[in-house]
Amino acid sequence: MIQLNQPLDVGGVHLRNRVFLAPMSGVSDLPFRQLAWQAGAGMVVSEMVASAELCTRERGNLLRLKGDGLGTHVVQIAGREARWMAEAARIAEGEGAHIVDINMGCPAKKVTGGLSGSALMRDLDHALTLIEATIAAVRVPVTLKMRLGWDNDTINAPQLAARAEEAGVQMVTVHGRTRCQFYEGKADWPAIRAVRNAVSIPLVANGDVLDRDDAISILNASGADAVMVGRGAYGQPWLPGTIVHGIGQNAGGVIADYAVAHYEAMLTHYGEPTGIRHARKHLGWYLDVHGSGVGPAERGSIMTETNPQLVARRLHAALSRFSAADLKKVA
């Protein structure tokens, strides 16, 4: 039986355990990943970076490549043209990425409408040209994230995974839904086992993992080697580490201290005006998960305030009623 705290080798890169933080657009920026890493996640993955846009070297895209303070730096890229995927992979490697991950799972219409993300599962031949170009461009391991298929009539993750392994991909992650499901219904963990049967490289199972019991169940159902946590980490970036280690090793102090540290890190990362805007969704998630006793007026005073010192003070006051023991609710 796989132990969550066991290390895993991916193309020569040592991952310290088997519970990972998923790439999430607008969420898994550097401050979020730093907190997840410090709390004990085995691997954290950047927000998806559009390959062609990255090649313009625009500041916002380059920010997504930052990996300061991360023992293992993983950058996810997306696109539909081999030349841009190759160049983006080279840029990511040049910025210190230990692993380059290819996105073929994003279901967002703005991504699939551009024939990227999970839309690539409708044309495996074209998908392979992108995989091959990316692998040829870098010396670091290349991994792949996908869904089960485009819809229930085209469950082709096993075929894509097998062809990706043959091309040189070092690890595959599968979200247990089709693109057309988006995030509706329950992820189909047993369906991921068909991918396990198709490849010998490490397999990561993703979808609806909210606690340690879920992590063990998805591994048992899928036969995967590791688990990836996505939306369950909203408002609790320590969740992957908590699943691995339990409370104590990764509580990081009381929730209030953790949330304020996250807020201040975002202001440093983006600069104050942009950071204040980006941080609001995270403040909302912290209050949703840990501030059930916070009333509308208090919540509003936190969410709409533009003075960072006041935001930090009010957020800490609101969440300080909850001790580190409250982390047990997500363990």
Residues designated as active site: 106
**Interacting residues of 243 by C-beta distance below 8 A, sequence separation 6+:** 4, 19, 209, 211, 212, 215, 227, 229, 331
Structure tokens at 70: 């991360």
Which of these, 271, 240, 256, lies nearest to 28 by C-alpha position?
A: 240
Contact 143, 168 (CB under 8 A): no
Structure tokens at 192: 């991921």
| 3-class secondary structure, 144 | strand
Taking the CA atoms of residue 126, residue 99, residue 261 and residue 316 in that order, the dihedral angle to the nearest 10 degrees is 50
Distance CA 238, CA 251 (A): 7
Distance of CA 308 to the CA centre of its chain: 27
Strand 19-21 to 43-50 pairing: parallel
Contact 204, 227 (CB under 8 A): yes
Q: Which amino acid is at 100?
A: V
- Which long-range contacts (C-beta less than 8 Å, at least 24 apart) are formed by 156-161? 156/121, 156/124, 157/121, 157/192, 157/194, 157/195, 158/194, 158/195, 158/197, 158/198, 159/124, 159/198, 160/104, 160/121, 160/124, 160/127, 161/195, 161/198, 161/199, 161/203
Structure tokens at 124: 């495996």
Contact 154, 121 (CB under 8 A): yes
Distance CA 324, CA 298 (A): 22
